[in-house]
Amino acid sequence: MLAWRQIVGVVGGVVVVGALAWLLLLSPVLALDPEQVRVDGAGTVVAVDQVRAVVDEHTGVPLPRLDVTGLRTALLDVPGVRDVTLSRDWPRGLSVQLVSREPVAAVPEAADVVEGAPGTAAGDAEAAAPGYALVDQDGVKVGRSDTPPEGLPVVEVPVGEARILAAALGVLESLPDALLADIGQVSAGTQDTVRFVLRDGATVEWGSAQEPDLKAAVLSALRAAPETAGSSRYDVSAPTMPVVG
């Protein structure tokens, strides 16, 4: 009798485990429902439809079996996505938190060539008017504009000098919002010779990326002081010895 009860107990346990396994791994009760997918953080450059299209490929997959790592890798390939965090929203949802590659500057492009235009030399090519590449803080192109976009500083560096561009963008990232909004143009011949042109036309010799907080504070004080306000040139590359001209 005891043996029979033990057998029943074992069989019952197996049935329970099997039922739980089916519920977790195969049952539609926990299957991903596209209507319960929430996408946040798309910003201005990420197409939410493209994000949802990638997630939709996993529709019907039970959440415990969802390959979150593989899905994240696929989402990182969506244009404009810099980072993504996924979290399961039980029983059938998914939260997709994006970090988008928002443009922080416009970089002049070299003149493009449009192939096949009649009446031109070298294989009937016509030089197209150069525009502006819109880049994020990492220097990744996220868009293009024919004209300098309003609200973004124009960054000019030697062609092909990725390190100098990275240095200029790093300086922009370190600036206080109030100063950043007042910058119309940035140029740099080297990583240590970053220069701004403010929207009022004044030039700022910023120098390297070192001591950004001190430089910003010194510049703010110089622009506010009656004797130096309205100057056409501020040199804060050595912030303890600023020069005004």
Give the model's pLDDT for residue 121.
39
The CATH number given to whatever domain includes residue 82 is 3.10.20.310
Residues 88 and 146 occupy one common structural domain: no
Q: Which residue has the tokens 């979150």?
A: 68
Q: 74 pLDDT exceeds 60?
A: yes
Residue 20 domain flag: no
- Report the domain count for the chain: 2
pLDDT attached to residue 25: 52
User: What are 158-177's pLDDT values in tens digits?
Assistant: 988 999 999 999 999 999 99
Distance (Å, rounded) from C-alpha 169 to C-alpha 181?
A: 14
Q: Is residue 156 part of a domain?
A: yes
Convert the pLDDT of each residue in 176-215 to its tens digit.
999 999 999 999 999 999 999 999 999 999 999 999 999 9
Taking every pair of C-alpha atoms in the chain, what is the biggest distance, in angstroms?
103
The answer to whether residue 14 is domain-embedded is: no
Kindly state whether residues 142 and 223 are assigned to the same domain. yes
pLDDT tens digits for 33-53? 999 999 999 999 999 999 999
pLDDT at 124: 42
Same domain, 43 and 128: no
Tell whether 55 is covered by a domain.
yes
Higher pLDDT, 14 or 97: 97
The predicted structure's pLDDT at residue 6: 59
- For 24, the token pair is 């977790």
**Residues 163, 209: contact at Cβ < 8 Å?**
no
| Out of 98-112, 137-151, 221-235, least confident range | 98-112
Q: What percent of the chain has pLDDT over 70?
A: 81
